[in-house]
Amino acid sequence: MADLPSERIPVIIGVGQINDRPADPDKGLDSFGLMLAALKAAEDDAGHPLLGELDWLGVEDQISFPDRDMHERLAAALPHPPRHREITVLPGGEGPIELINDAALAIARGDAAVAAAVGGEAMRTAGQRAKAAAARGEPLQPDILGAAAEALATPLMRQYRLVNPIDVYPLYENATRAAWGQSLAEAQAESAAIWSAMSQVAAANPNAWLRKAMTPEQITTVDDDNRMVSFPYSKLMVANNAVNQGAAVIMTSLAVARELGIPEDRLIYVGRGAAAHEPDDYLRREGYTRSTSIIATLSNVLAFNEITAADLDLVELYSCFPTVPKMARRVLDWPIDKPVTAYGGLTFGGGPIGNCMMHATAAMTEKLRAGAPDRTGLVFANGGFATHNHAIVLSRQAPRGIDLAADYDVLADAEAAREPAPQLLDNHVGPGAIESFVIPYGRDGRPRFATIVARTLQGQRFVAHVPGDDHQTLTMLTSPESEPIGSLGRASTMEDGRTLWTPAG
């Protein structure tokens, strides 16, 4: 198709990131302050007073200082409130890329000329203030993260404590390990290699939260500083949410950028995005050995921009837990020895709940600017419980013959590739086989219990419990010598109505 006129080609011209580390929590910025500071930093990076010229503003929702009117408050704080203002439905990891895609579409369709996407989380400040209040004898503050997750859970999820992301992503980790034919040691080595490389990227990034390069051995060694969180994930393998971080991206049309005199080597072109999602109820998905929405999102974003993975110089593969970049790199055939991050990932770069990929986009923008004029990057975001996926291509070169105004929704492709989900039973008595499992650990380093997701011999799915004092079963599940996925057992009913899992033999 014919190229769009310069008035319809979206480009990034300004990015800003904020790390706030006050010793006194009362002096820390809240989420609003982080967002406003990030917008001003992005304006400074663009080199022009553009915050008064915005006609589109997108805000990533946040939970540390809940406020569903944050987009209106930010708009009111600007010299002239933007005509269009929106906030994401939830503080999900895909949100920043969805906002950037929406802003790019608005520009490509002629509905906006100057747009900004922003987000920020002050979890560190919120946590410090809650601790200080408790020390003064004030009522305990609610667990913000836990309350948000609990509100989305079904009764069956709550019954078996499959409520938080750390309770769900291991289902994919353990199932994919078995499906890929990896031993536990091989799977952990892959995670460690990816996370070590991310730490090295973060160490060189002045905007990363944790700037300490770590070896693969340090990632996998479980000790007091790296306790087991949920098998097989240790603390250094999961997102670091205890941060105060904000990031913003300012976009304009190519025509506006040239009118402003922005140098060509500072323009980052935004390609056509792609997005798809899994069913919200993760107990009613086809399985845990793949994500057709990840496959559809990544495959289509490459096809839409007429490139292959071999054309990518940089990628950001969402890294809340190792299973996500592992699944994504297999779609892209991304080498294990190449970093999967531009900013350091969610453990080291920082994991401000839903706004991580705004930081990744800012970091990738800076790296693309600093590199050769033909450099190209891909940002892949994941949100919810391995639910929502969104990707976008960024480049130093203008897209040619690509319909930048086309919709990014590729859910139909994901659904066409899915197998039917098995019937979910509320309870089951009788034989079954382990489909996957999760084992949460306490701060004392001991497994609290295990939750088994299993199949009946007829293929239906059910959930079962392994008590924390069943050391034999817990040892079997975590043993590096054998693979528990697919092993047989028997389900019976406990006194509290839950289903108990007992291994066969």
Q: Look at residue 63 and tell me if it is in a domain.
A: yes
Residues 276, 379 within the same domain: yes
Same domain as 492, residue 381: no
Whole-model pTM: value is 0.96
Per-residue pLDDT of the chain (505 residues; tens, 9 = 90+): 457 889 999 999 999 999 999 888 888 899 999 999 999 999 999 999 999 999 999 999 999 999 999 999 999 999 999 999 999 999 999 999 999 999 999 999 999 999 999 999 999 998 888 888 888 888 766 666 677 777 788 999 999 999 999 999 999 999 999 999 999 999 999 999 999 999 999 999 999 999 999 999 999 999 999 999 999 999 999 999 999 999 999 999 999 999 999 999 999 999 999 999 999 999 999 999 999 999 999 999 999 999 999 999 999 999 999 999 999 999 999 999 999 999 999 999 999 999 999 999 999 999 999 988 889 999 999 999 999 999 999 999 998 889 999 999 999 999 999 999 999 999 999 999 999 999 999 999 999 999 999 999 999 999 999 999 999 999 999 999 999 999 999 999 999 999 999 999 7
Residues ≥6 apart with Cβ < 8 Å to 25 = 124, 125, 128, 129, 132
> Which 3 state secondary structure label does DSSP give 7?
helix
469 domain residue, yes or no: yes
Q: Which of 417, 447, 463 is the last residue of a domain?
A: 417
CATH code for the domain in which residue 461 is found:
2.40.50.840
Q: Which residue from 503, 488, 487, 483 is spatially nearest to 184, judged by alpha carbons?
A: 483
Q: Are residues 295 and 385 in the same domain?
A: yes
Residue in this structure with the two tokens 């380093």, named with its chain if needed? 445
Compute the 3-state secondary structure of the chain and give helix, strand, coil in percent, each to the nearest 5.
35, 20, 40
As a whole number of angstroms, the distance between CA 73 and CA 67 comes to 9
The domain boundary residue, chosen from 417, 444, 478: 417
> Residues 390, 456: one domain?
no
**Do 67 and 120 have their domain in common?**
yes
Residue 255 lies in a domain: yes
Shared domain check, 356 and 467 = no
The CATH number linked to 251 is: 3.40.47.10
Q: Residue 353: left if φ>0, alpha if ψ -120 to 50, beta else—which one?
A: left
- Residue 190 within a domain: no
- 3-class SS of residue 181: coil
Do both 344 and 379 map to the same domain? yes
CA 40 to chain centre: 25
Overall domain count for the chain = 2
Same domain, 461 and 388: no
Identify the CA nearest to 35 among candidates 248, 249, 349, 346.
248
Q: Are residues 395 and 442 in the same domain?
A: no
CA distance 270 to 401: 14
Query: What is the radius of gyration, based on Cα positions, of the chain?
Result: 23
For residues 245 and 383, membership in a common domain is answered with yes
In a domain, 97, yes or no: yes
Q: Are residues 301 and 437 in the same domain?
A: no
Q: Dig out the tokens for 72 from the structure.
A: 């209106």
- Flag whether 68 is in a domain: yes
Domain, as residue range, for 489: 430-503
Same domain, 364 and 312: yes
Q: Which of 417, 450, 485 is the last residue of a domain?
A: 417
Please indicate, yes or no, if residue 17 is contained in any of the structural domains. Answer: yes
Rounded CA-CA distance 182/173 in Å is: 11
495 inside domain: yes
